[in-house]
Structure 1
Amino acid sequence: MDLALVLILILRDQGSLTISGAAEALDVSPSTVHRSMSMLVYRGFASRSESRTYLPGPALSASSLTPGIGAELIHNTLDHLQAIAAETGETANLMALSGNKTHFLYSVEGSQMVRVGTRRGQVMPAMDNAGGLAMLSEFSPGELRALYPTMPDDLFEDLRRTLHRTRTRGFAINNGLYEHDVSAVGLALRNELGDTLGAITISIPTLRFRNVHRKCAEVLIKHGRDLNRRLEKFRAPTVHGMG
């Protein structure tokens, strides 16, 4: 059952998959993936194209993140995510914003004995994680209010102060906001027009966050500069929930 759920999340975020590709990525046999995919096709979560590629089925049409939005972004950032994880020993993540929520598109686990596991497929409130805060910090006050129309004024002002500190600092910090034992640093990715494309983060167990977060932020900023140059011609797809 867990494999089927993971396959659904990959279909939702990447827009397509093959049996061999999924088997390699998830380290299971092709026959195991095929059985799960057959069940997903039967239940409407996947459909099979003439080229034997599996696509999101009608049961995924209600997803708040446009299917396939992450595929090109993952392709362009994967080598940097792997390098970030290797340099820091911590887990590196790529995420996208949909409305006021962040979708984790990809994770590369670090080498530390105690580490944060993969976040791939997870969805959480943008204001409760480092990548979400990094992306929200790029918004104007009006755009921000449109995402949180019912938030009380005092809480909205607190959020704006947090985002101002994020812009001033140059990276976002999540010190156990969503889960007490998980903290992170985050950085928004932008193209040459200043469009926010997504964010990269480093997830760190809270117990060692204070000792390593500055080094991790330096690594993140270095790779962020390189990625923004690579992504300068990239244009963000339109996502649901942003209008």
Structure 2
Amino acid sequence: MAVPGPTHGSQPREYLKSVDIALLLIHILRDNGSLSVSKAAATLGVSPSTVHRSMAMLVYRGFATQSESRTYLRGPALTSSTLQPGVGQELINAVGPYMAAISAETKETCHLLVLSKNQCHFLHTVEGTQPVRVGIRRGQVMPAEKNSGGLIMLAEYSASELRALYPTVPDLEFDELRRILNRSRQRRFAINNGLYEHDVSAVGACLRNDLGDVLGALSVAIPTGRFRQVQRPCADVLLRHVRDINRRLASIRPLDIRKA
């Protein structure tokens, strides 16, 4: 018997339920962004062990990743950056050593992101050294309003530019986003307290050239369980290094992101 879900045409003669379950799990990840084993099992009417086995294969093939809280998120096969190969390499080369220094000093994971419309593309990651740490996000894409690097880059936009990026967001929600961005702009860094993954938080700061153009952002990503204790020290380390980085980036011009 087929698992409930969207179909196109008649059921194949050689129907494979295990394959159908895996494909439906991909649909759930694509549409919802995350899933838990128990909820997916209840939705599909199968056992948790069946979902576990299917998810293990999706992780293996890159359709899913397991977060620090052991829920599943979209994997690189569903969220891979559409940036052209080689885009951002000059920025990575310039910023990479500073990212390593930030990660060594904070012991947390450091990400380099660039903005395309209202999506953040993760270009590079230097993992922290803590036993429990945020993993590599390189190649993934996330909503800009849901992570600290995206928020601090969006803070550079005018109200009309923001509205063009978020035309369907209700006015009250849009005004709250603008308040968040204004606070981020005033303190020179943005905070993500579990906005996208509840177990991952971060602070983010802008990268600029000598003309004031936004080139990208760096974020220090921290497990939410210890975020409150280390948030301010990590932000201080990030801002101190970003001042030096921006001098290093003086002559670099914004990325040409054509396929994002």
Q: TM-score, normalised by structure 2?
A: 0.67
Q: What secondary structure sits across from 1:104 in the alignment? A: strand
Structure 2 counterpart of 1:182, which letter?
Answer: V
Aligned to 2:105: 87
Distance 1:211 1:152, change over 3 A: same
Per-residue deviation at 1:70?
1.6
Deviations 1:5-29 (A, max 9, x none): xxxxxxxxxxxxxxxxxxxxxxxxx
Query: Does the 8 Å CA contact 2:81/2:140 hold for their aligned counterparts?
Result: no
Partner Cα distance (1:241, 1:147) in 2: 17
Find 2:87's aligned residue among 57, 61, 69: 69
Greater shift in the superposed pair: 178-187 or 65-74: 65-74
1:195 is aligned to 2:198: no
Per-residue deviation at 1:68?
2.2
Find 2:231's aligned residue among 187, 208, 213: 213
Partner Cα distance (1:237, 1:78) in 2: 17
Distance 1:219 1:206, change over 3 A: same
Find 1:170's aligned residue among 154, 179, 188: 188
Partner Cα distance (1:165, 1:232) in 2: 26
Gaps of 5+ in 1: 1-61
Q: What secondary structure sits across from 2:149 in the alignment? A: helix
Moved >4 Å (runs of 4+): none
Gaps of 5+ in 2: 1-79
Q: Alignment identity in percent?
A: 60
Deviations 1:20-76 (A, max 9, x none): xxxxxxxxxxxxxxxxxxxxxxxxxxxxxxxxxxxxxxxxxx964343222111000
Q: TM-score, normalised by structure 1?
A: 0.72
Greater Rg over alpha carbons, structure: 2
Aligned to 1:227: 245
Partner Cα distance (2:249, 2:128) in 1: 24
1:111 is aligned to 2:111: no
Q: What secondary structure sits across from 2:83 in the alignment? A: coil
Per-residue deviation at 1:241?
7.4
Partner Cα distance (1:92, 1:229) in 2: 19
Partner Cα distance (1:139, 1:219) in 2: 25
Per-residue deviation at 1:169?
1.5
